[in-house]
Amino acid sequence: MAITSAVLFFLNGSQAVSLISLSIYQIIIPLENSLSNKSSISKTPAFLNTLTLDRLQVDMDISSNPAIFHLSLAELNLPEPYQQLRNLQFSCQSLEMELGFIHCQGNKLSVFGLLPEQTAESTDFSFNYSFADQQLVLTINKINTGKGKLSINLKLLNDQWQVDFNAEQLAFKDFKSYFKYYYPEFMNSVSDEGGILSASGSLQGVFAKANIEQSGGLKLLKIDGKVRNLHYSYSANDTDNLADKLSFNFRYTSDAISPHKTQSTLSINRIKGELLQNNIYLAFTGKEKLYLKLLKSDINNFLKFNRIKLTIDKLLDVEASAELKPGSDSVLQDFHIAYTLNDLQSFNSLYLKNILEGTEYEGLLLEGKLKGFFGRCGRKIQLNTILKELYLDFNQQIAVTNLNGELNWNNHKNSVQSPVSDINWEEIQLAELLFGTTQLKFVAFSDQVKLLQETDIPLFDGALHINSLKLKRLGEPVSEQDKSTGMIIGIDGLIKPVSLKLISEHFNWPLLDGKFSAVIPETTYTRHLLTVGGAMMMRVFDGSIIFKDLKIEHPLDDSARFFANIDLLNLDLKSLTKTFNFGEIEGRMAGKIRNLELYNWSPVAFNTSFRTPKNDKSRHRISQRAIDNLSSLGGASGILSRSFLSVFETFRYAKIGLSCRLKNNICYMDGVEPKGNNAYYIVKGSGLPRIDVMGFQKTVNWEVLINRLKNIQSANEAVIE
């Protein structure tokens, strides 16, 4: 310690001392060097290890009554985060000294460095010290901090200390460095602009004693406060007025029973402004409120959210609690979330729409109400959601109307311990298919969903009958390296007879006659691929159509791709030609379509042939109009109108057939048998009068062929290309 001192004596007539002045150039307290017991060094507070005072000046005028005391200090170097205080001025205009007691009622205190580039001042403080119990009490009221005020009360008793404070309207930026020291990651995100702090609290602790191995430090901390207009930013993301009105409560205790235990609450009474976080944009309305109660303890290394409450006026209520244990196998130990969403439409337009923008779920529309909970206790996890008048629309590809009921899920490995879910809807639209009012009962457990009973889902005037429905590997991420990953939907059932007339009207097809029914074998959907496991049979035109090797990629998208091999068995030509207004043909037809590929439901490639079945015993008759239409497909037209056969309405035939192999938008055509090198039979006649219909074009542009078929349908006459 280097000390330079001078004592000046000004004597009056009676030679009494009237003024005492003491100057000290520098005081350094290297406390760690003065301890003989090195094992206690780590317990010595850093505050005492680094305390440095420069140019201390003490003056006391004892001639006045009461005495006047003045202290000035050029520099006081403190450890982080307090750093350096300069130009400390302390004046006591009323200093009373009695036996074992000192009392000072002051009227001036100022110091530079407590606040950034500001001098903090107070004209209301008091100082009391008792020699008997070594108690010091220092009270400083209303320290000026710009537009704010700060009051501090300090008590020292033996090895114990206590600080009580009250802050009013403090600029948050002035104290940011102190908060940053204890919470650097968070405070780096807080802007220097905005933020007004009001708080009160108390700090209690003890000084370390090396001789008895007593550890010092903070033992109790209590803070209650409010902040408004706090600006927050993080990296490239930003918010403005994240918490317009915020209040908080903080409690910290450290003793032998509860070392380093903290309990805090945070209440955001109004959230305003805008948030951009990880490409998610939200615009707050000012009606959002958040309450948080947190407990942290070093005993079991756990963090517990006793209560989390988020409310949006008349729109959303969420209450939650959670316990976290960092470093364990399962960080989230227990949690419970209960929620009520009263208006999905408003929630969607205010928040969800912006969150989903730019994702594959962009365009999702929601209406209705939700209520439920999601929680974990030990190893058990469960979810419950009550749906009320829910409406959903996703890019006009999936739509649900008036969905109601209750959804339940838990993480049990079997369905026996899982509660039943029961939902119903008014309508569901999948692509262009519309399903009617239905009720489903099922269980959802682990990563699976299982239908409990056979169900009819109305479709046109028939129904989709589901024998079984299973969903597996729900929520499993899709890996491009492992094709076995991703969710699987499995279904089998049948389509009860549906009117072809209703189907054709719905899809704007040529008017079809009769009924459509089908057997659906086990079908799976995974990784945007729908696969039929076996053959799917349809009953139509008094015959059968069998689909094999059926696959659909992205079935709900405009880029859907359809693959299949198809067999047509014993179709009634009279019903078929009547439906398509082709001209009447009596008899039966069989055929096959191989390597069929559709893109966006339009043909890209196939190899197809249709012909009279072998040993067909049905009546074979063909009309004039059908002959002309078939001849136009083969490259000729008006054959009958140019011959005497035009007087006959119908003709007998032995066999009929046509084939097309589509590749690169060209149809390579053929008939039931060749005729020379450049022609083929489309219709081979029988009996008298006899007529044969020939085809002369081996290759036809697919668009041209389609236009011919359209013209036949609309005008009942061939168009020569």
DSSP class per residue in 26-38:
EEE--GGGG-S-G
Q: How confident is the model at residue 192 (pLDDT cuts 50, 70, 90)?
A: low
164 pLDDT more than 80? yes
Tell me what the pLDDT averaged over the chain comes to: 80
Q: How many other CB atoms are found less than 10 A from the CB of residue 637? A: 19
State how far the alpha carbon of 443 is from the alpha carbons of 260, 420, 489, 673, in Å. 46, 5, 15, 58
For the entire predicted model, the pTM comes to: 0.67
- Ranking 72-76, 436-440, 626-630, 646-650 by mean pLDDT, the lowest is 646-650
**Close Cβ partners of 144 (under 8 Å, ≥ 6 residues apart):** 120, 121, 122
**Domain-embedded: residue 604:** yes
Asked if 121 and 110 touch (Cβ cutoff 8 Å), the reply is yes
pLDDT computed for residue 465 by the predictor: 95
- β-bridge mates for residue 443, sequence order: 420, 450
State how far the alpha carbon of 488 is from the alpha carbons of 482, 495, 510, in Å. 14, 22, 36
**Close Cβ partners of 204 (under 8 Å, ≥ 6 residues apart):** 160, 161, 162, 163, 218, 219, 220, 221
d(CA 662, CA 673): 19
pLDDT tens for each residue of 420-449: 999 999 999 987 889 999 999 999 998 889
pLDDT computed for residue 377 by the predictor: 86
3-state per-residue secondary structure call for 675-686: ECCCEEEEEEEC
**Domain-embedded: residue 142:** no
**Domain-embedded: residue 561:** yes
pLDDT computed for residue 592 by the predictor: 96
d(CA 456, CA 227): 59
**Domain-embedded: residue 434:** no
End-to-end CA distance of the chain: 114
**Domain-embedded: residue 566:** yes
**Domain-embedded: residue 692:** yes
576 pLDDT more than 90? no
**Domain-embedded: residue 194:** no
**Domain-embedded: residue 685:** yes
- Give the total number of structural domains in the chain: 1
**Close Cβ partners of 36 (under 8 Å, ≥ 6 residues apart):** none
Q: Which domain holds residue 642?
A: 541-715
Q: How many residues in total does the chain contain?
A: 721
Asked if 516 and 539 touch (Cβ cutoff 8 Å), the reply is yes
**Close Cβ partners of 235 (under 8 Å, ≥ 6 residues apart):** none
